[in-house]
């Protein structure tokens, strides 16, 4: 849970302190007044990176992905401010005296790219209100935001907003505004150091600092980055001899909280902090130039998978790291923050395996946390989720509302923060390469407008991936141009196929990326095929789960939706099971494909299904939560049957990790 820090901890530096730094504020340049058209890579004073996310607005969704973003815009993603006072006209980030901490910045961090990706004047206007107030109301000393608090953390989020906004619009106010703030902070941090959330999330601000440094080369920015890291929590050190191998002891965390606000013992095992920190080592590696820093994310993911991994691509965290049982949950904030961290890390490291992880989370855990119309969401989701009710469940520290579907179940941070998930995935589908090429990093239908070695180029990516195996890419450069195209080969695919204008290009399974370096002309076409096998994965207590490509499959449990309370334009819901769920599962069988409906992940109209052999076993629920998967299930006196599994996100009540069915 996120609790705002109360203002008044320490005074600010005098406004005159900024004067000594004013000479470093760059003059407006032509580049700073136009929307960005090409990716900006780090200058030579930083480590090189193989990929760079394209400027905001370069990629627009098409196909099923556009429909998904339209669903978000028509639901809470575009209208939450109309029904939730925390983001309404009285928000502190609009000059009011309402919520003035993280929720306004969280909301705009996703609303802004969504608005431009859908080219929605209405959503653009909503985002612009927050941005205009922020840019037009700086404090005299360079600080910004509501004056009711001086916490560093919510400013870190708004800085992410401003970097995107500048790329989208070229607004000349952004670069000097950010520069003044960073200079102020450099002087203020020694007397008012990072604490609490800001101390754990320093890497998010360093990413914004490096964005600005790549445009101004202001040396003070690297000083500030070093100070933030020094004051911030050392995430990389935590994983050297990883101590958190069991479900978090809630009583220990609560006891610590009586004396201090969730100091390290609570904050370092807080699921959202852990998700945000996945980018810490890669981001810092741009400054340190350390190969160990750049590679550290892989060890961190391995440790999280080993001790807290869930079959949906995430780790447990409800609110704190919770072990491997699939009856534990993971917070929606952690899902979208893990995606953003991995997208950032993929650009910095160029490691294709991170693309596999992004897809697993994005195509399973992300849509699973919402009703199909995205008018209600969960705070926590469980891979084995057999009831969504007001019971307490086996959470580490969360409360009874945590897995309800609604406006702001348990706590409102996810209501404000979920918006970034789909738009930032869209923004990361293609990336620029340091050698002037382009990389297909994550697969979904989209249209790309960018530059390749100085030549404008349009790319149309047509696909029903991950529901289907094929991707077609048509390139249309303004004039013929030679450059490399790098195509990610999903790690799960044993026989990838790549063709350019009908001619086969050698592509080896496990290679990460295949590079096609040639002269490209308008109409050139790349055809990819990623045949996917059904994979049986072994997890907690020797349980089994099933995946095919990027999709995880679950047994849908019958759902009875009961309205708990009206919440303005939406409702809070409890969901109760209407069918048996206590099955063991054996070998997978037939895969069947169906049309992708207007709601791509809807459980009532699954795009693909998987048959597995199953049998009822002795397995019960307590307090609305399935007991841990029995390692040696005792069969009920019922015959074997065929279970029809659907993509994980479509089953709001589900079993994903099954006891292993004993051989006959």
Q: Is the pLDDT of residue 428 over 60?
A: yes
For residue 613, what are the β-bridge partners? 642
Distance from C-alpha of 213 to C-alpha of 210, rounded to nearest angstrom: 5
What is the pLDDT, as a whole number, of residue 475? 98
Strand residue runs (E) in 350-404? 380-381
- Which residues, at least 6 apart from 588, have a Cβ–Cβ distance to it below 8 Å? 534, 536, 546, 610, 611, 612
For 170, the token pair is: 């070229």
Other C-beta atoms lying within 10 Å of the C-beta of residue 32: 19
Quick check: 55 and 36 in contact, CB under 8 A?
A: yes
What tokens does 293 get? 């820093």
CA 26, CA 217: separation in Å to the nearest integer?
10
Dist. CA 230–CA 199, nearest whole Å:
10
Mean pLDDT of 249-278: 76
Residues 6 or more apart whose CB falls under 8 angstroms from that of 191 comprise: 10, 13
> What is the predicted pLDDT for the residue at 10?
29
pLDDT digits (tens, 9 = 90+) for 67-96: 999 999 999 999 999 999 999 999 999 999
pLDDT value at position 36? 76
Q: Quick one: pLDDT at residue 358?
A: 98
Q: Is 559 helix (H, G, I), strand (E, B) or coil?
A: strand
How far apart, in whole angstroms, are the C-alpha atoms of residue 148 and residue 467?
48
What distance separates the 2 farthest-apart alpha carbons in the chain? 81
Q: What percent of the chain has pLDDT over 90?
A: 91
pLDDT at 613: 97
Check residue 266 and give its pLDDT. Answer: 83
For the CA atoms of 164, 51, 441, 497, what is the dihedral angle to 10 degrees? 160
| pLDDT value of residue 249 | 86
- Taking only the tens place, the pLDDT of each residue in 320-331 is 999 999 999 999
Band of residue 226 on the pLDDT scale cut at 50, 70, 90: very high
Model pLDDT, residue 265? 64
In 3D space, the residue among 7, 5, 14 whose CA is nearest the CA of residue 148 turns out to be: 7
What are the residue ranges of helices labelled H in 232-317?
Answer: 235-238, 250-257, 264-267, 271-277, 280-288, 291-308
Contact by Cβ (8 Å): 639, 338: no
Q: What is the pLDDT of residues 119-157, one digit of tens each?
A: 999 999 999 999 999 999 999 999 999 999 999 999 999
In angstroms, what CA-CA distances link 213 with 26, 208, 222, 310, 417? 11, 9, 8, 38, 26
Mean pLDDT of the chain: 93
Short-list 41, 28, 20, CA closest to 174: 28
Lowest mean pLDDT among 3-17, 496-510, 576-590: 3-17
Q: What is the pLDDT of residues 7-55, one digit of tens each?
A: 332 232 233 233 333 444 444 444 456 787 899 999 999 999 999 999 9
Asked if pLDDT for residue 64 goes beyond 80, the answer is: yes
pLDDT for position 392: 87
pLDDT of 258: 56
Q: From the CB of residue 22, how many other CB atoms can be counted at a distance below 10 Å?
A: 12
User: How far is 157 from 162, CA to CA, in rounded Å?
Assistant: 9
Position 521 scores a pLDDT of 98
Per-residue pLDDT band at 252 (split at 50, 70, 90)? confident
Q: What is the C-alpha to C-alpha distance for residues 37 and 57, in angstroms, rounded to an integer?
A: 9
Confidence of residue 270 (pLDDT cuts 50, 70, 90): very high
pLDDT reading at 4 higher than 70 = no
Report how far residue 284's alpha carbon sits from residue 270's, in angstroms, rounded to the nearest whole number: 21
Q: How many whole angstroms separate alpha carbon 421 and alpha carbon 235?
A: 23
Q: Which residues, listed in sequence order, are joined to residue 552 by a DSSP beta bridge?
A: 547
Please, are residues 646 and 603 in contact by the beta-carbon 8 Å criterion? yes
Residue 394: which pLDDT band, with cuts at 50, 70 and 90?
very high
Q: Report the sign of the C-alpha dihedral through residues 89, 91, 94, 97, in that order.
A: positive
Q: pLDDT band for 264, please (50, 70, 90 cuts).
A: low
Q: Tokens 């997208």 correspond to what residue?
A: 343
Q: What is the pLDDT of residue 251?
A: 77
Q: Tell me, what DSSP letter sits at residue 364?
A: I
What's the pLDDT tens digit per position in 460-494? 999 999 999 999 999 999 999 999 999 999 999 99
The whole-angstrom separation of Cα 85 and Cα 90 is 7
Q: Which residues pair with 477 in a beta bridge?
A: 457
The DSSP bridge partners found for residue 497 are 529
Q: Which of 190-199, 251-260, 448-457 has the lowest mean pLDDT?
A: 251-260
Tokens of 584: 């063991």
Q: Which residues, at least 6 apart from 521, have a Cβ–Cβ distance to it below 8 Å?
A: 477, 480
What is the reported pLDDT for 21?
39
299 vs 25, higher pLDDT? 299
* Cβ–Cβ < 8 Å for 624, 387: yes
d(CA 275, CA 316): 11
**Distances in Å between the alpha carbon of 609 and those of 257, 467, 547, 548, 598?**
46, 10, 11, 10, 17
The closest alpha carbon to 153, from 322, 330, 7, 370, belongs to 7
Lowest mean pLDDT among 121-125, 541-545, 633-637: 633-637
- Computed from CA positions of residues 302, 304, 308, 312, in that sequence, does the dihedral angle turn out positive or negative? negative
Taking the CB of residue 149, how many other CB atoms lie within 10 A of it? 19
Convert the pLDDT of each residue in 501-524 to its tens digit. 999 999 999 999 999 999 999 999
CB 475 within 8 A of CB 500: no
pLDDT over 90 at 237, yes or no:
yes
């Amino acid at each position: 849970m996120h609790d705002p820090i109360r203002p008044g901890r320490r005074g600010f530096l005098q406004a005159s302190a900024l004067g000594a730094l004013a000479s470093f504020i760059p003059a407006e340049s032509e580049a700073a007044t136009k929307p960005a058209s090409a990716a900006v890579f780090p200058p030579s004073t930083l480590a090189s990176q193989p990929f760079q996310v394209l400027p905001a607005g370069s990629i627009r969704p098409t196909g099923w992905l556009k429909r998904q973003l339209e669903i978000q815009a028509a639901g809470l993603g575009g209208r939450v401010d109309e029904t939730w006072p925390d983001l309404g006209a009285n928000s502190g980030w609009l000059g009011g005296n309402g919520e003035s901490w993280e929720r306004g910045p969280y909301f705009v961090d996703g609303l802004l790219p969504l608005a431009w990706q859908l080219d929605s004047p209405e959503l653009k206007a909503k985002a612009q209100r927050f941005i205009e107030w922020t840019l037009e109301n700086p404090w005299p000393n360079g600080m910004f935001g509501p004056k009711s608090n001086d916490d560093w953390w919510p400013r870190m989020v708004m800085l992410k907003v401003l970097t995107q906004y500048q790329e989208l619009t070229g607004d000349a106010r952004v670069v000097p505004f950010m520069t003044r703030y960073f200079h102020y902070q450099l002087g203020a941090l020694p007397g008012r150091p990072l604490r609490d959330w800001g101390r754990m999330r320093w890497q998010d601000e360093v990413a914004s600092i490096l964005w600005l440094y790549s445009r101004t080369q202001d040396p003070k920015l690297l000083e500030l980055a070093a100070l933030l890291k020094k004051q911030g929590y050392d995430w990389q050190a935590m994983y050297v001899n990883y101590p958190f191998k069991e479900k978090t002891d809630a009583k220990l965390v609560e006891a610590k909280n009586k004396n201090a606000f969730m100091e390290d013992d609570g904050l370092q095992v807080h699921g959202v902090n852990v998700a945000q920190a996945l980018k810490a080592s890669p981001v810092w590696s741009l400054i340190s130039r350390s190969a160990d820093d750049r590679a550290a994310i892989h060890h961190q993911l391995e440790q999280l998978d080993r001790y807290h991994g869930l079959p949906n691509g995430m780790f447990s965290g409800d609110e704190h790291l919770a072990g491997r049982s699939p009856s534990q949950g993971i917070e929606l904030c952690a899902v979208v923050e893990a995606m953003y961290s991995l997208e950032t890390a993929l650009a910095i490291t160029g490691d294709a395996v991170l693309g596999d992880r992004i897809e697993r989370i994005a195509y399973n855990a992300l849509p699973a946390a919402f009703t199909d119309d995205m008018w209600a969401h969960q705070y926590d989701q469980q891979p084995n989720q057999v009831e969504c009710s007001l019971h307490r469940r086996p959470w580490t520290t969360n409360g009874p509302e945590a897995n309800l579907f609604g406006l702001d179940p348990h706590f409102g941070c996810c209501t404000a923060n979920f918006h970034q998930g789909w738009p930032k995935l869209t923004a990361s589908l293609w990336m620029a390469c340091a050698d002037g090429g382009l990389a297909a990093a994550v697969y979904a239908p989209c249209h790309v407008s960018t530059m390749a070695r100085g030549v404008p180029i349009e790319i149309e990516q047509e696909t029903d991936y991950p529901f289907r195996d094929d991707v077609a890419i048509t390139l249309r450069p303004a004039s013929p141009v030679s450059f490399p195209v790098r195509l990610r080969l999903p790690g799960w695919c044993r026989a990838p196929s790549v063709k350019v204008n009908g001619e086969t290009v050698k592509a080896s399974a496990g290679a990460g990326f295949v590079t096609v370096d040639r002269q490209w002309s308008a109409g050139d076409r790349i055809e990819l095929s990623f045949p996917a096998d059904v994979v049986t994965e072994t997890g907690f207590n020797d349980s089994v789960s099933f995946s095919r490509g990027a999709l995880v499959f679950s047994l849908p449990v019958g759902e009875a939706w009961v309205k708990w309370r009206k919440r303005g334009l939406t409702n809070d819901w409890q969901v109760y099971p209407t069918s048996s769920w206590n099955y063991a599962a054996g070998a997978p069988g037939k895969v069947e494909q169906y049309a992708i409906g207007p709601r791509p992940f809807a459980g009532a109209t699954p795009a693909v299904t998987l048959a597995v052999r199953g049998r009822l076993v002795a397995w019960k629920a307590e307090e609305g939560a399935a007991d841990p998967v029995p390692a040696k299930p005792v069969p009920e006196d019922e015959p074997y049957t065929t279970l029809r599994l659907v993509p994980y996100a479509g089953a709001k009540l589900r079993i994903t990790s099954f006891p292993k069915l004993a051989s006959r």
